[in-house]
Each structure stands twice: as C-alpha cells, then as structure tokens.
Amino acid sequence: MIVDKTTRNKIRLQSTVFQALFLLMMGVMAWFSQLYSVSIDLTKNQRNSLSPESIRLVQSLEQPLKVTIFATPSNEMGGILNLLFQRYQDQQPLIQVETLNPDLYPELLRQYNIQQDAEIIIEYQDRSEKISLATESQVTNSIQRLLRQGERWVVFLQGHGERNPYSDANHDFSEFATRLASQGYTIENLNLTEVSSIPQNTDVLVIASPQVPLLSGEVDLLKNHIEKGGNLLWLADPGTIISPIDRLADALAIEFLPGIIVDPNSQLLGLDRVDFALVAEYPRHPITQNVASLSLYPQTQAIEYHGDETQWQPLNFLVSGDSSWNETGELKGEIHNGDDADEINGPLNIGLTISRSTVGTSIEDNFGSLQQRIAIVGDADFLSNNYLGNGANIELGLNLFNWLSHDDNLISISPRAAPDTRLELSQTQQVIIAIIFLILLPLLMVGLGLRIWLKRRSR
C-alpha cells in the first residue's frame, strides 16, 4: 500500500475525529454520573445497603431533612457517619448532610445540648432529634418520629399545683416540654373538673406531683383511664401521696416507701447535701438501653410493686446506689442509716414501669395500642427547668416518653451479619493449599528459572 500525502491526511483526520468523539463520550458519561449515582453492594447480606424499610421511609419525605454531624477532624467516626448518611442521600436527594467541628461552634453545642464527640442532630420542619450512637435503626426511627407531627398527644393534669409544661418557673417543665414538641409531641393541659372523661386521643397522661388533694371524682376518671388501657406517667414527689389519690396507687398495686432517699455519693458532684440520689448503673430496660451517663434525682422516694405479675409485668428502670437508704427522720445534723425501723438499705427503686397486653382482656383498647404502659417515678424534679440539664436527665425523659407512646418499636432493623468476612477451610483444603503454595509453586518457579538459564547458556 502506497501512503501518500492524501492518505496521511485522512488517517490524521480519522484520528482527530476519534479522539474528539472519545473525549465527548467521556464528558457525557461524567455528566450522567453526577446526575445519577449507581452503586452495587456485592457483600453477601447486602450489609452496606439500606434496608427496604429505611428506603420506603426516606422516599416518603416531602420536605428537606437536615443532618448535622458534630465530629472533630481526628475522630474516625466522622467518616463512618458520612458513609452511613450517604446511603440515605442516594435514596433521597432532599436529605442534606453537614459535618461540623464542635470546637468551632460552641453556640450550637449549647443550642443542641451536644455533650459527646460524633453526636448527630436530625432536623425536619422545625423539629429535631439527637442521636449519640448512630445505627441505621436509630437513624430511621428518628426520621420516623420526626414525620409523626401531631399524632402523639401528651396531656398534663392541672388544677392541683402540678408541674406546668408552659411555665418558666424553676420547678416547672417548660424546657422539657419544648424538647418534646421538637420531637413531634403535642402538649396540652387538662383540668378534670372541666371534662367528663379523659380524651381518647391521649397517648400519654402525665400526673406531675399534685400538691393539693384531687377530688374523689377526679380519681375515678384516672382509674377509668387506666381500666380502658390508657398510658400513664406518674411523677410523685415525697409527701404528695395523699388521699384520695392513694386509691390510684392501690389500683396499680404499688407502694411508695416513707422518707426521702439519701445518697452519700451525691457529694461527689460537689453538692452540700445528701438528699439527692445519683443513678450510675441502670437496669436492663428499653428506656435505659442507650443511656451511659449519670442522672440526678433531687429528693426522691422509693417505689415497690406488690401486685400479681400475671396481671402486670413490672420492670425497674431507675435504681439508687448500694450506699443509699430511705431516711425517715429529719434531714438535719448528722444522718445515720438504720436509726429507724422503716429505713431500708439500697439499692432502692426510683423508677418503675408496669405493662400488660390488652389482647384477650376486658380492657377496651381505645388508645390504639396492643400493650398498656405505665411508668411511676418517685421524683418530678429531675425533669424540671432547674435540674433538666444534669447528666442524662434529658435523655432519660425523652426515652421515657418514647417508650410510653410506643415509639421504641417503630421500626426494628436487625444488624446484618457478615458471613463473608471469614474464610473457613477444612483440614484437607488447608493441606492442598499448603502443598500448592509451599511446595509446587516454588518448585515451578525454580524449574522455570533453570530452564531459562539453561536456554540462555546454550546460546
């Protein structure tokens, strides 16, 4: 073939056109890769992908959801969390993720009560949730709670000197009520003298330490609420169990022990008093399963359950320390354990839950759940404006309401096992591999080397 000038020009033109088309194709592919992300999870159990439940949930979002990760640059969890939320972003472009160095944003730390490195704030339509140990299950449940605006009604009993969720006084609950509202709860007050029954859409009824006696008819309404399967939180300060509300305690088969719990360990916090109970270790309970910090309970009383455990299932979730006791004398001068016959050594129950199934019972399930849940705490101050910021008080309070409103079981996503991260070989397979790699392969390499050497030498 004779290559003349014309032929060379054609070849050069073809090469130029090919290069231009190739670059154009690469540019188009890069553009599509920005518009559409495609990933393939080749792990055996698809453990690097979101579960179908999480995918369905995030695809139902109609408004932007903001995720803020407070992680220092040296914390490797920051990268791990970004990978986790990237999976959510791949399924829903409305999810926005931002990582902030907590050392540079002290005002946000105060605003969101950030206490640990790598904590996460999820915000949706002026509501927010905080996550400390992020897993897919926790993230998905948090998103689910944020989507449930207006569906969970928390009703506070009023009219007897109870703690008020709308008052800024030190002993009231306005700060905690604000936190509840940010998680989608609707907060209302209720005066039983103005109604003939407790509203059926009440998810959690709260009795926050009434200071004056209730009317007998009001106690009847409370008992009727329980008989119909309603959920209840009873915060009872020492000295507030006065007739006729003691009938409610009898109906629940609970007893409030006399006196105030004294805990010498409270002085470790620099407190100049011993009538503050510290809780450092928590019994196994859904309310406390992720709580790792101390919590503080000012002037609390102990609770015991004496009912039939075939009717109610009791579980303790707050227990005082071993060195505590219930002091029945005056808290003046030197205080000694055991100087009164009614005093009992710790640990003592501060928080108790009782629950029962509403299936197959005479209870009318007017409250939309298959399990009735009641929690009793021997102290109301731990959620007050004055003490809410101590230790894990906020976290415990939020967990308590999530459990009472059945939000602890929104979506159960089990961690996927990783069976393909471990190679198990039989003894025969191990021997075969050893012969191949330790004997045959080295002999083959030596033989090839000798063959090449001999062939070159013969030249």
Cα separation, 151 vs 368, in Å, equals: 12
Cα separation, 41 vs 254, in Å, equals: 53
Cα separation, 324 vs 337, in Å, equals: 9
CA atoms within 13 A on the CB side of 316: 17
What pTM was estimated for this model as a whole? 0.66
User: By the 8 A CB rule, do 55 and 41 touch?
Assistant: no
- Write out the chain's pLDDT in tens, 459 residues: 566 778 778 888 888 888 888 889 988 888 877 776 666 665 665 667 788 878 888 888 889 999 999 999 999 888 889 999 998 998 899 999 999 999 999 999 888 888 889 899 999 988 888 888 788 878 887 887 788 655 689 999 999 999 999 999 999 999 999 988 877 788 999 999 998 889 988 999 999 999 999 999 999 999 999 999 999 999 999 988 888 999 999 999 999 999 999 988 877 777 777 888 999 899 999 899 878 889 999 999 999 999 988 889 999 999 998 889 888 877 776 676 666 767 888 799 999 999 998 754 444 444 444 789 999 999 999 999 999 988 889 989 988 998 998 876 555 555 555 555 567 788 898 889 889 988 999 999 999 988 888 888 887
